[in-house]
């Protein structure tokens, strides 16, 4: 059996959401449009070089630190997790990210800053290629094993899907 985890960020409300979105929009960003993905705004760079951004400190102190404590307790591990990277993606109309995995980490995590429609949630395939149906919502962090295929479906709507993603590994 594969463990999936959904963590609800405590006190996630419109104020926190708006603060994060404001900080994201102050961050340096680029777009990606290739055969694997079309993402309108992201601070991920194909060279995998991610620079410190205005939202990093806020997200780490207000969200990630508590998530790490919760996650380590849930899996009975010492409070030692490596989170080598943190990036955001804003999916506008017709944006997508095809099925992929995350190498060199135990888990991949998706924090749903804005998830205006359930149809935009991350699609995940189990090891047999069956779609996993998880009920996630805005203000939650979805954690899956990094070796599972997952994607962001095409955004066919006018609302933006906004996520912050990060890889993690137990030390």
Confidence of residue 116 (pLDDT cuts 50, 70, 90): very high
CA angle at 33 for the pair 154 and 24, rounded to the nearest 5°: 80
pLDDT at 45 over 80: no
Contact status, residue 129 vs residue 158, Cβ threshold 8 Å: no
Length of the chain: 171
Contact status, residue 82 vs residue 152, Cβ threshold 8 Å: no
pLDDT at 123 over 60: yes
**Residues of the chain above pLDDT 70, percent:** 95
pTM of structure: 0.94
pLDDT in tens, 73-93: 988 888 789 998 899 999 999
């Amino acid at each position: 059996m594969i463990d999936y985890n959904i963590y609800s960020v405590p006190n996630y409300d419109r104020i926190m959401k708006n603060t994060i979105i404001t900080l994201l929009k102050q961050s340096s960003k680029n777009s990606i449009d290739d055969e694997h993905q079309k993402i309108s705004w992201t601070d991920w760079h194909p060279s995998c070089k991610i620079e410190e951004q205005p939202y990093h400190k806020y997200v780490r102190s207000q969200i990630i630190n508590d998530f790490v404590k919760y996650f380590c307790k849930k899996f009975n591990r010492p409070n030692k997790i490596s989170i080598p990277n943190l990036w955001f993606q804003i999916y506008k109309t017709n944006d997508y990210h095809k099925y992929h995995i995350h190498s060199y980490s135990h888990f991949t995590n998706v924090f749903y800053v804005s998830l205006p429609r359930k149809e935009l949630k991350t699609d995940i395939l189990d090891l047999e290629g069956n779609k996993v149906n998880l009920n996630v919502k805005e203000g939650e962090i979805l954690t899956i094993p990094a070796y599972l295929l997952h994607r962001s479906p095409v955004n066919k709507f006018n609302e933006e899907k906004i996520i912050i993603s990060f890889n993690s590994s137990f030390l």
